[in-house]
Amino acid sequence: MADEAKAKGNAAFSAGRFEEAAAHFTDAIALAPDNHVLYSNRSAAYASLHRYPEALADAERTVALRPDWAKGCSRLGAARLGLGDAAGAVAAYEKGLALEPSNGALKDGLAHARQARRPAPASGAGAIGKVFQGPELWSRMAADPTTRPYLDQPDFMRMLRDVQRNPSSLNNYLSDPRMVQVLSLMLNLRLPNNDAPPRPPAQSTPPPPPQQQQHQPETKAREPEPEPEPMEVTEEEKERKERKAAAQEEKEAGNAAYKKDFETAIQHYTKAMELDDEDVSYLTNRAAVYLEMGKYDECINDCDKAVERGRELHADFKIISRALTRKGTALAKIAKCFKDYDVAIETYQKALTEHRNPDTLKKLNDAEIAKKELEQQEYYDPKIADEEREKGNEFFKQQKYPEAVKHYSEALRRNPKDPRVYSNRAACYTKLGAMPEGLKDAEKCIELDPTFSKGYTRKGAIQFFMKEYDKALETYQAGLKHDPNNQELLDGVRRCVQRINKASRGELSQEELQERQNKAMQDPEIQNILKDPIMQRVLTDFQENPKAAQAHLKNPGVMQKIQKLVSAGIVQMK
């Protein structure tokens, strides 16, 4: 149930529903109060809602539960930075990097924290920018109808967070009329109307005539309205908005052409980038087209640019992760040897540190599997495999079984499809008393070549040694189907029949019988036979009603199960 609540929280968080995500993580914590990941996730949700005190409490709990987890330090640094504790944030990020030096999120967080820790100038933009660090910022913006919509605009929220971390950066954003509007709100100023003539001081104004007094209430009623936008919509800002709108149109045109006309899609995405270089999605979309076209170098180049530009713009971690994932896919496509996959795997791992996406995780697993398969192919050499097998044979003759196993194993790495080597190594394992390993090799030998008699003799010998005489008998008989005159298989059948008959006649010692019965009771097939209500009735009739028992034996299925119990030593015939 905790995992289910956690999954719902992750889905809500990915969709930007942070309140809902925090609620789901809270439910999960109630079910698993010692799970550090749940506190970490809820801390991230609270931080996204700017509820930094709660985010800090959860981050501290995360670190307390798992002190050696780098992400806990990242959560702690983000919460402290949100509360204005830049020095504490620096300490948290540095501790996280000591645990995981290559973590990109920790490096970025540390850079922001150090920038925020630098002393701001006593006057100028830095001093004015400090008005954004007070707790009343969000409540005043929400209460003002002019600034309230800004809270739902991600690009403006990134500007505000940057100014909160570094007040001296305010100058960088004063060209944005939204920032000017919020600044005037926090300074209790009203934007002036540049088109209206300046008013003389109130003391020098004579009392207005009655007619003017009648119109005064109307003038006062209009004063609280925001002034028209001579100051807010500059030509530069108007042009900027037009470029962004045009870029979005180009992007939509590129999306429409995607998978239909690659060259046209690239042209549209390129045009969008020229119009607006503050949206990384144009780069990642063009990289996706290059990936489909098989132009992997161009794809990798665009992904690198997207990551670099995204970090400059403090873009969402998901966008950075998407760019890294596409780069990893391109690198995997151009891999020519197993070592080439290392770069792709490292890139996928970096993408997962930015955002843990199931698609990226699957691509990482596929790359690791492909690397292993390619490594096996490159290592494949039947000639060297035969040389190693011969060396193993020499050591086997000298009764140096561990050395023989070593060479047989190397032979299998060079040629994993040779049944003879599995058979030889199974013999070594038998000599060393490693029966489970020997049985596994014998079964692999039979799987590779069902007609190879040695595989059956090896497997049968191991089963006989393990006192599983009925199974050994089946193995020897299966081998005789392929090689009816094989003396080893015939001898194996004879030994098994002798042992089974001895047990059925009750000629085993009490210790031998008890050992066989204990071993048989661990066999799932024997357990199922004994649990079968029909077989329970048959066994009762054998003891209490011999005539009925004879009738049961006419049933081939029942007879086969009885024989199985006799072979296992569970039932004795007298």
Structure tokens at 245: 């709108």
* pLDDT at residue 209, rounded to an integer: 47
Dihedral pair phi/psi, residue 325, rounded to 5°: -65, -40
The C-alpha atoms of residue 240 and residue 234 are separated, in whole angstroms, by 10
pLDDT band at 229 (very low <50, low <70, confident <90, very high): very low
Higher pLDDT, 189 or 486: 486
Q: Which residue has the higher pLDDT, 525 or 402?
A: 402
Domain ranges of the chain: 1-117, 130-187, 245-378, 514-573
Query: Which listed CATH number (3.40.50.300, 3.40.50.720, 1.10.260.100, 3.40.50.2300) goes with 514-573?
Result: 1.10.260.100
Instruction: Pick the closest to residue 478 from 500, 451, 499 (CA basis).
Output: 451
Question: What is the rounded CA–CA span in Å between residue 57 and residue 75?
Answer: 10
| 480-514 pLDDT per residue, tens | 999 999 999 999 999 998 888 877 666 666 676 67
C-alpha dihedral, 261 to 264 to 266 to 269, nearest 10°? -120
384 confidence band (pLDDT: 50, 70, 90): very high
Q: Which two tokens stand for residue 200?
A: 């003389």
pLDDT in tens, 138-178: 767 877 888 888 877 888 888 887 787 777 777 778 778 88
Percent of the chain with pLDDT over 90: 35
Residue 232 has pLDDT above 50, yes or no: no
Neighbouring C-beta atoms of residue 60, cutoff 10 Å: 18
Would you say 569 and 516 are in contact if contact means Cβ atoms under 8 Å apart?
Answer: yes
Structure tokens, 341? 């996959």
Q: Does this chain's domain 245-378 share its CATH topology with 514-573?
A: no
Q: Could you tell me if 536 and 530 are in contact, meaning their C-beta atoms sit under 8 angstroms apart? A: yes
pLDDT for res 299: 95
Q: Which residues contact 524 (CB under 8 A, 6 or more apart)?
A: none
* Residue 136 neighbours by CB distance under 10 Å: 10
Contacts 24+ apart (CB under 8 A), 517-522: 517/568, 517/569, 517/570, 519/466, 519/467, 519/468, 519/568, 520/568, 520/569, 520/570, 521/570
Q: Please check whether residue 324 is in contact with residue 351, taking contact to mean a CB–CB distance below 8 angstroms.
A: yes
Q: Is 89 exposed, middle or buried (0-12, 13-18, 19+ CB in 10 A)?
A: buried
DSSP 173: G
Q: What is the pTM of this model?
A: 0.39
What residues have CB less than 8 Å from 90, skipping those under 6 apart? 77, 110, 113, 114, 117
Q: How high is the pLDDT of residue 357? A: 86
Q: What does the alpha-carbon distance between residue 163 and residue 169 come to, in Å, rounded to a whole number?
A: 6
Two structure tokens written together for 328: 């990893």
Q: What is the pLDDT of residue 130?
A: 64
Return d(Cα 349, Cα 327) in angstroms, integer. Answer: 12
Segment among 26-30, 100-104, 418-422, 448-452 with least mean pLDDT? 100-104
Express as a percent the part of the chain with pLDDT over 70. 84
- In this predicted model, what pLDDT tens digit does every residue of 51-96 receive, in sequence order? 888 999 999 999 999 998 888 899 999 888 888 888 889 999 999 8
Q: What angle do CA 132, 134, 139 make, to 5 degrees?
A: 90
Asked whether 109 and 89 are in contact (CB, 8 A), the reply is yes
Task: Name the more confident of 259 and 434.
Answer: 434
Report the pLDDT value the prediction gives residue 325, as an integer from 0 to 100: 94
- pLDDT above 60 for 191: no
- pLDDT number for residue 489: 94
* pLDDT-based confidence at residue 451 (cuts at 50, 70, 90): very high
CA atoms within 13 A on the CB side of 155: 10
The pLDDT assigned to 222 comes to 42
**What pLDDT band is residue 119 in, cutting at 50, 70 and 90?**
low
Q: Which two tokens stand for residue 409?
A: 């194993």
* Amino acid symbol at 14: S
Mean pLDDT is lowest, of 68-82, 99-113, 436-450, for: 99-113
- Asked which of 250-254, 327-331, 336-340 is least confident by mean pLDDT, the reply is 336-340
Which residues fall within 8 angstroms of residue 182, CB to CB, at 6 or more apart? 132, 141, 147, 150, 160
The reported pLDDT for the residue numbered 234 is 59
Listed in sequence order, the residues at least 6 apart from 394 whose beta carbon sits closer than 8 Å to its beta carbon are: none
Architecture of domain 245-378: Alpha Horseshoe (1.25)
How high is the mean pLDDT of the chain? 82
Residue 521 φ/ψ, nearest 5 degrees: -70, -15
pLDDT score at 440 = 95
The whole-number average pLDDT for the span 222-243 is 56
Enumerate residues 6+ apart whose C-beta is below 8 A from 72.
36, 40, 59, 62, 63, 65, 66, 96
Tell me which architecture the domain covering 1-117 has in CATH.
Alpha Horseshoe (1.25)
* DSSP tag of 571: S
Residue 118 pLDDT level (bands cut at 50, 70, 90): low
Q: Tell me the per-residue pLDDT of 534-553, one tens digit each, with 9 for 90 and over.
A: 888 888 887 777 777 777 77
pLDDT at 438: 94
Res. 394 pLDDT band, cuts 50 70 90: very high
The predicted structure's pLDDT at residue 447: 95
Question: Is the pLDDT assigned to residue 206 strictly greater than 50?
Answer: no
In this predicted structure, what is the pLDDT of residue 129?
Answer: 61
Give 440 or 215, the one with higher predicted confidence. Answer: 440
Query: Which of 16-20, 235-239, 401-405, 511-515 reaches the highest mean pLDDT?
Result: 401-405
∠157-161-164 over CA atoms, to 5°?
Answer: 140
- pLDDT at site 504: 66
Separation of alpha carbons 125 and 142, rounded Å = 24
